[in-house]
A and B are shown apart, each in its own frame.
Chain A
Amino acid sequence: MGQLATCYLQNIITQFSGPCCVSSVAHAVALQGLHQPSRCHQPSLYCSASPSPLSSSQLSQPVPNQPLQHFASLWKNCCAVPNMHSFGYRANALLTFGITLLALMCGMASFSDNINSPSPSAHVQVLNINWFQKQPKGNDEVSMTMNISADLQSLFTWNTKQVFVFLAAEYETPKNSLNQISLWDGIIPSKEHAKFWIHTSNKYRFIDQGRNLRGKEFNLTMHWHVMPKTGKMSADKIVMPGYRLPEEYR
């Protein structure tokens, strides 16, 4: 009866004292010093090895004088924790395991996106330059109407939440090696909406840093950012060169 109680306490303490593999080994070492038959097998979620049963058939002896055994017996006698902690430890272990598993599944879902090989297409036609003026502060501004058509259906996988697509005007000036100005953007929530054709003027103002836009050649680049349901985001673009602004203000 006394041995059963001791065994029960030992199991509680082994559970409570943190990384269980380390404590089990330490516990087995401590047990060997005490010459106790170890009938306490404690299977756990993280340990591959449980403390191996000792072959000694001796009954428990009074506490010897060595410090390790003294400490072990102190631990055993002083740490009588109530049962509620064992439930708490199990719940904690289960929760951690569940979260790790979920994170792994998210990682695998994200990895499956690499298998997809997309083949998108896009075309933009500038119909009209609405106006092209110099602002009071001295910067050029232009407004244009465009037809934008694209087929981005091949970008969607089962792990895709949405695709953020935007059209940017890109050009170079003497002061700036690169200027990128977003003219229009949209959110494609699903594969059905990914093949589209729209007629629109620029959603965002096309304003230069300076007065460099007269006769400027620029590229219209269709960028897209694939937003997954979980995991790594990816982005790509199609560059459409060959657009040109008028030589004079209108």
Chain B
Amino acid sequence: MAWILMKALTLGMIIGSALIIWKALMCMSGSESPVVVVVSGSMEPAFKRGDILFLYMSKDPIRAGHILVFNVDGRDIPLVHRVIEVHERQDTGEVDILTKGDSNLLDDRVLYAQDQLWLQRHHIMGRAIGFLPYAGWVTIILTEKPIIKYVLIGALGLLMII
């Protein structure tokens, strides 16, 4: 009985510290998702599928050439593309942004919502400032083949019990 509690405590501590680290990263980067995995090949050869990007969100102005991670209404996964056009208002400082993937032929207007011509600041999750190659393959495999996720959780649970 006592050792079950000990194991549960250890597990709780591991999960707790992972959560603390994640929340701290969220605070430091100012973004709701400080680390993202590149899932499409539209930014090759710069970022390949499976790379991890570190994001940073600040009040700094957005300029052409920045690589942004942004959400489009109606799409569930965010996109990672480069800014090719910026129009910044005189008075309010709001921006209209047009993006394009490096290896795409057309700009992203085909991917935006119906009748949407520009992105605004509230669409943007963060700006990519650094990356780690290949480190995101685990996430891609777990997402695209969910059976492996269940097998992994099952094996971990079994190890806990044995």
Contacts and interface: CB of A to CB of B under 8 A. Distances in A.
A148 to B, nearest CB: 16
A235 B82 CA distance: 13
Contact of B45 (A18, A85, A187, A223): A187
A161 B159 CA distance: 42
B128 A233 contact: yes
Contacts, number: 92
Contacts of A180: 63-64, 85-87
Contacts of A230: 131-133
Interface residues of B, number: 31
B45 A162 contact: yes
A67 to B, nearest CB: 11
A231 B133 CA distance: 9
A103 to B, nearest CB: 8
Given A176-B89, A180-B64, A182-B85, A164 B102 contact: yes
B87 A79 contact: no
B14 to A, nearest CB: 8
A16 B84 CA distance: 53
Contact of A174 (B10, B90, B133, B162): B90
Contacts of A229: 133
Contact of B84 (A85, A110, A162, A182): A182
Contact of B88 (A78, A85, A178, A185): A178
